[in-house]
Chain A
Amino acid sequence: MCDNCGCNLTDANRHALGAEEHHTIEVLENLLQVNDIQAGHNREHFDEYGVFAVNIMSGPGSGKTSLLEATIKALPPGVKVAVIEGDLETENDAERIRRHGVPAIQITTGMACHLDAHMVHGALHELALQGLDILFIENVGNLVCPASFDIGQHRNVILLSVTEGDDKPAKYPVMVHAADLALITKTDLLPYIEEFSVGRARDSFLGIKGQLPIIELSAKNGAGLEQWIAWLLAEVAKRRPAAAA
C-alpha cells in the first residue's frame, strides 16, 4: 500500500530493496574544522610578532569605523596599529582609516555576511605584522554570523549604539556571550534618546554574561575613550611585556 514508509515490506521482498546494505557511518567531525584550523594558523602569525588582534563586531552602523578613527587619534604615539576592514561591498571604511595614515586592508565579502579565517589570512599577505602592536579587524555589520567564525583574534569586542535600543543584547545572546568587552557607543546622543536606558542595556548584557566589562563612550565627543584606550594598552602589554611602558 505504502511505498514510502516501508510498511509493505515483507520478508519475501525486503532483500529487493537492498535494505541489508544500509549501514551507519560514525564520523564525529567539526563542521567548521577547516576554518578553525586556519584561525589557529592566523593566531600563530599574530603571536609570532606579538600583535594583539581584536575582532570588532556590531550591527550595521553602530560606529565601528568611527571608533577606530577616534582610537587612532587617541592612542599614545609609538603604538603602531593596522586595520582589516570587512564589508559586503565597498572600500569606504578602509579609505577612511588610510586618511589617518594607518595601513588598512579592505576585504569585500560579497555574499558572505561575516569574515572567516581564510579571508583574514588572505589580507595578512598584504600587511606587515612586524612592529605592529594592535591589529583591529572590523567585522561585517551583522549581529549574528560573525560570532560563529573564529578568525584568529585574541579578543572580541561588541558595540551597541544608543540608537539601537537597550534590549538588543538580549536579542543577540550568542554574540554577547562571545564578547570579551562591550562598548555602548554614541553616548553623546543620550540626551536626545530618552527611550535608551544605559542601566537597562547594562543589565541586558550582564544577564547573559555577568563578568562582561562594559564601557560607555562617544567617538564624537571623546567621552569614555580613555577607558577603552586603557583596555587596549593592557592587552598590548600582555603580549609585549618588554615593550610596554
Chain B
Amino acid sequence: MHETAIVAGLMRIITQQASKHGAAHVSRVTVKVGRLRAVEPQQLRACFEMFAEGTVADGAELVVEEIGVRGRCRGCATEFDVPRYHFQCPACAGNDIEVIQGQELFIENFEASSSPPPAVDPPLVPK
C-alpha cells in the first residue's frame, strides 16, 4: 500500500497550496501517474477520499491521468510506445532502451473556490 505514502504527499501539497492561494475548498484534483510507478488508480482514489476527510479537500474528486510508457532505443534512436513493459525496439529489435515517459508522479492542478463548500446537510434554523 504505497498509495498511502503518495496520498500523504499529495495532501501536504494541496493543504500548502490551498492556504497560499486563499482557497477555502478544493473540489477537484488532477494527478498524473506513469505506468512505471505501479500505482493503482482505484487505490489512490480510495485512499485520497479517506485522507481528504475533514480537510480543505473533503469530498473532492481525484482525477488520475495515467501515462503510458515510452522508450527511446539507444541503438537507433527510434522512439516508441512500450507495449506491456516489453522493452524492445520495433525498428532494430535492440533491447537497450531508455525510458522517456512513464515515470511521472505529480499533481498537475486542482480546482478551488474561495467560498466554503455547500453544506451537505444544511442545518435547519428554526425561527
Contact = CB atoms under 8 A, between A and B. Distances in A.
Given A22-B27, A34-B12, A210-B88, A113 B97 contact: no
A211 B9 CA distance: 33
Contact of B109 (A21, A25, A210): A25
A212 B127 CA distance: 75
B6 A31 contact: yes
Contacts of A122: none
A167 to B, nearest CB: 13
Interface residues of A, number: 38
A35 to B, nearest CB: 7
A29 B106 contact: yes
Given A174-B38, A177-B36, A208-B86, A22 B113 contact: yes
A52 B37 CA distance: 25
Interface in A11-43: 17-18, 21-35
B37 A174 contact: yes
A149 interface: yes
Contacts of A148: 2, 6, 37-39
B114 interface: yes
B38 A24 contact: no
A24 B111 contact: yes
A147 interface: yes
A61 interface: no
A26 B111 CA distance: 9
B110 A210 contact: no
Given A31-B10, A177-B85, A25 B5 contact: no
B113 A21 contact: yes
A127 interface: no
A112 B96 contact: no
A133 interface: no
Interface string A172-192: 011101000000000000000
Nearest to B99: A177
A149 B2 contact: yes
Contacts of A173: 84-85
A160 to B, nearest CB: 16
Contacts of B113: 18, 21-23
Interface string A33-62: 111000000000000000000000000000
A35 B5 contact: yes
A206 interface: yes
Interface in A203-241: 206-211
A173 B31 CA distance: 22
16 contacts: A17-B118, A23-B112, A24-B110, A25-B21, A25-B112, A27-B107, A28-B106, A112-B1, A145-B2, A148-B37, A148-B39, A174-B36, A177-B85, A177-B87, A208-B85, A210-B94
Given A24-B112, A31-B105, A209-B95, 20 more contacts: A21-B113, A27-B107, A27-B108, A28-B106, A30-B9, A31-B9, A31-B31, A31-B107, A32-B105, A33-B9, A34-B9, A35-B9, A111-B1, A145-B1, A175-B38, A207-B88, A209-B87, A210-B94, A210-B96, A211-B95
Interface of A: 17-18, 21-35, 111-114, 116, 144-145, 147-149, 170, 173-175, 177, 206-211
